[in-house]
C-alpha cells in the first residue's frame, strides 16, 4: 500500500493536536535525573500548566517569526507550557519559565530547548496515539524524549541526553493531573 506524504503528515498533525488537547491542564511532575556514568541522582518536583494553542494565534505567529517561517500561520496547533520547579529534597527553587511548542508536518518548533534559550526544532512521531516521541539536536547534543499519556490522570516522560555518541543523562518523570 502506498501512502502519500500528505496523508502521513495529516495523520501526524491530527495525532499531535489530539495529544496537546489531552495534555491541557495543571500537572504535578515528579522527576529524577540520573547523571551517567556515575549514576548521581537529582530529584525535582514541578507544577506544570499546559494550554492548547490554536492555529493562527499570536503565540504561534511569534514562534513562526523566531524560526523565520515564511507563513506566520502555517503551524497547525501548539501548546504553551509553564513550569515552576524545586528540588524535592531541599525544597530550594530551581527554575521557573514558559515554553512554546508549535507543530507543522512532522516537526515540533520550540521557542527554547532543554539546555538553550534559543529556538530549536524536534522531529516527532507517534508509535501509538498515546505516545509522543521527539528527537532534538543542538550544541553537539541529542535529546530523545518519550511522553506517554496513561489514562486521563497521568503522563510519563523519559529523556535521554547524549553528547558525542555517549549517554550523559536520563530523566524520568511521573506527572499527575491536578486539574
pTM for this model (two decimals): 0.89
CB 42 within 8 A of CB 87: yes
* The three three-digit cell numbers of residue 41, written as one number: 541522582
pLDDT level of residue 87 (50, 70, 90 thresholds): confident
Q: What's the Cα-to-Cα distance from 127 to each of 79, 107, 160, rounded to whole Å?
A: 21, 15, 18
For 3-13, write each residue's pLDDT tens digit.
333 334 457 78
CB 133 within 8 A of CB 148: no
Q: What's the DSSP call for residue 116?
A: B
Amino acid at each position: 500500500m502506498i501512502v502519500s506524504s500528505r496523508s502521513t503528515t495529516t495523520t501526524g498533525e491530527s495525532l499531535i493536536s489530539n495529544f496537546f488537547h489531552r495534555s491541557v491542564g495543571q500537572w504535578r511532575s515528579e522527576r529524577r535525573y540520573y547523571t551517567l556514568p556515575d549514576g548521581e541522582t537529582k530529584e525535582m518536583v514541578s507544577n506544570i500548566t499546559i494550554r492548547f494553542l490554536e492555529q493562527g494565534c499570536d503565540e504561534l505567529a511569534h514562534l513562526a517569526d523566531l524560526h523565520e517561517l515564511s507563513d506566520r500561520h502555517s503551524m497547525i496547533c501548539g501548546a504553551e507550557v509553564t513550569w515552576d520547579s524545586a528540588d524535592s529534597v531541599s525544597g530550594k527553587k530551581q527554575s521557573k519559565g514558559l515554553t512554546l511548542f508549535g507543530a507543522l508536518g512532522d516537526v515540533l518548533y520550540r521557542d527554547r530547548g532543554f539546555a538553550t534559550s534559543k529556538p530549536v526544532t524536534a522531529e516527532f512521531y507517534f508509535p501509538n496515539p498515546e505516545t509522543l516521541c521527539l528527537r532534538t539536536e543542538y550544541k553537539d547534543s541529542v535529546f530523545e524524549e518519550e511522553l506517554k499519556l496513561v489514562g486521563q490522570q497521568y503522563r510519563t516522560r523519559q529523556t535521554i541526553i547524549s553528547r558525542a555518541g555517549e549517554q550523559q543523562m536520563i530523566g524520568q518523570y511521573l506527572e499527575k493531573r491536578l486539574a
